[in-house]
Structure 1
């Protein structure tokens, strides 16, 4: 039986804050199964260096004829997990992209990527994205791949004429500063828009309401706080994490875990423990 090998390589993209994290991954000898791709306050961009990435909104869809199969994955901001088929071997580069960078990097607002669970990247980014993927497959080192991908994305941004309304950009920044805990009333006052007008503009740009985006930011912070002790082989203190991340109580943290992962915190940790300890979690910013 082939032994399991997992490789995860992180890079620091120099893309002016448009990309929060970049991870190269390669695994072999895995037992085929399903992985939960969790919602986050970032868009997902994956260039597969192996076969297509197969996903579905349910385990049944992921394993059936209705699954999405694409070599370049674009994922928008969602409120429920994506189920990703985990083959015996896979390789690729996964980026966490700031949603307000979608116009610059992809030519469309993030809201357009929220309509479907996964959008084939070539459908949005064009033939050049396919050429870049083929180049990444041919290159021999992660350093070369990260450099090529960064250069490609910098060129797309340089050629872009898309701009985000300043009120929406400031609203996102305010939510991030408050780690997703601020109120819609406080946010609307900060950007000098009515709550209704702000919600309309924010949803048109990102696909989410400000409240939904704030919940994702808070969950991302809580998930990262859970991952750190698990990666070190310790049990996380969920009550302390809930308090530190701005939840009313432990039950509200459990509620968000169930919505965003489909299982309880303990159930998710049991499923993902090996991947966490191998270093495959923790991308993005808090």
Structure 2
């Protein structure tokens, strides 16, 4: 368990050999949590959560057949609706951001197999992941835990034959992410030299979402990040910056993908968002 003298938040980039596959590691510790259910929002990463306290409780995954469950360590695939997570008053753990095109190498399963689902780490075909919750819980501090993650993921990556998606799909995914989801599917297909139908089928087989769904999720994730540090122009500025028609369009999309309005989400999650926002730009 985390020590009382540790910082509540810590962030670390993975080992350089992992950075094409993993975005960052985030360690967190919270006490006196009053929000009973946290909304895990759609975004561009596949997420691994490892609890250092009580198991993570999935209350529901709207739009999915996934039922409630409890896991000490889990991986959540790309999704287009909120993952509803029950919260205890005290919680601690680690959050990993994985690139969808890298999960087959790291986890031994594809992004489409994970889409809209939560899977126990012990069910994955990677022995180095099964006892990670125990090893991380025994570690004395965040740097040691991050180093433990590096070793486990490097072991997964080096023991497995690397999966290399078609270059056209990797390029299209990276362009979509860089553009915040604001690239028409037809333009992506034309640029890689494929028909729209062929491109959509190949993209879906690698990412787990259609190009249109992926663009929508990436754009929504960009909007949610802006809401963490709401600009002076408020929701209207966020809508304009992220390519929504207007504030009403953003609000409707938020209700669809978060299950609530932007203002409700800010009101519910603001204490967490303010603390998590301190991680931005950290080494």
Query: Could you tell me the TM-score, scaled by structure 1's length?
Result: 0.87
Q: Would the aligned equivalents of 1:103 and 1:163 in 2 still touch at CA under 8 Å?
A: no
For 1:123, the equivalent position in structure 2 comes to 123
Q: Distance in 1 between matches of 2:184 and 2:13?
A: 32
CA pair 166-58 structure 1, distance change in 2 beyond 3 A: closer
Deviation at 1:282, TM superposition (A): 7.3
What residue number does 2:224 align with?
223
Q: Is the 8 A contact 2:35 2:268 kept in 1?
A: no
1:277 alignment partner in structure 2: 274
Q: Deviations over 1:37-56 (max 9, x none)?
A: 11111100011111211103
1:283 Cα deviation after fit: 7.4
Q: Please say if residues 6 and 27 of structure 1, whose CA atoms lie closer than 8 Å, have aligned partners that are also in contact.
A: no
**2:19 pairs with 16, 21, 25, which one?**
16
1:264 — aligned with what? 261
Deviation at 1:209, TM superposition (A): 0.6
**Contact residue 103 and residue 160 of structure 1 kept, 8 A:** no
Whether contact under 8 Å (1:275, 1:281) holds in the other structure is: no
Count of residues paired in the alignment: 270
What's 1:188 paired with? Answer: 189
1:49 aligns with 2:46: no
User: Which consecutive unaligned segments of at least 5 residues does structure 2 have?
Assistant: 1-5
- State the 1:276 CA deviation: 1.1
Query: How do residues 162-177 of structure 1 correspond to structure 2 at under 5 angstroms?
Result: 162-177=163-178
How many Å separate the matches in 1 of 2:119 and 2:210?
21
**Deviation at 1:236?**
5.7
| Mapped contact 2:46–2:77 kept (Cα < 8 A) | yes
Instruction: Call closer, same or farther: CA 1:119–1:58 in 2, change over 3 Å.
Output: closer
**DSSP-derived class of the 2:8 partner:** strand
Partner residue of 1:141? 141
2:144 is paired with a residue of what secondary structure? helix
| 1:179 CA displacement | 1.9
The equivalent of 1:93 in structure 2 is 94
What is the alpha-carbon root mean square deviation over aligned residues? 2.3
| Deviation digits for residues 243-286 of structure 1 (CA, Å, limit 9, x no counterpart) | 111112222211221112111111111111111122269779xx
